[in-house]
Amino acid sequence: MTSAFLKHNDKEVYRLLDELSQRGKDLKPITSGASLIMHKDIIERFKEEEDHEGKPWAALSPITIARRKNKDKGKIKKLRDTGRLVNSIKPKHGKKWAAVIAGGSNVEYAATHNYGDSSRNIKARSYTEGLSESAHKKIFTLTTRHFFVN
């Protein structure tokens, strides 16, 4: 087996490596931007009524349609009875993490509608699982620009 060791004393290479190292110390521009991209991606799911892969959410039950028929004007939207759920979705970030939270103490049913509940015949309508391909690309571009664009 043959191996080679390349030693290079180019000051520009060392400068670039040092700069990349410094940019990696402050990831808040990435985490802040990523959380906003993720938030927008989830809000879009409510508008389109589909999951991150573009699969339509389960249809509303006849009971839900009957209950909301007189209340809603026009088309009955899934997961949009009062607007509390969609309005509870917020972007969050820290030094090394990005997230989107949904629910909270005033929207205790958020997880039930995201994952479903077979014991109560509530179908899953995933809005927090995964990211769309578009969101992935935007976060990749954001990260690349942080490290490699002046």
> pLDDT, tens digit, for every residue of 24-54?
788 999 999 999 999 999 999 999 999 999 9
Query: Cβ distance 60 to 7 under 8 Å?
Result: no
The Cα–Cα gap between 22 and 137 comes to 24
pLDDT in tens, 97-115: 999 998 876 788 999 999 9
- pTM beyond 0.85, yes or no: no
DSSP, res 49: T
* Residue entry with tokens 């990696």: 24
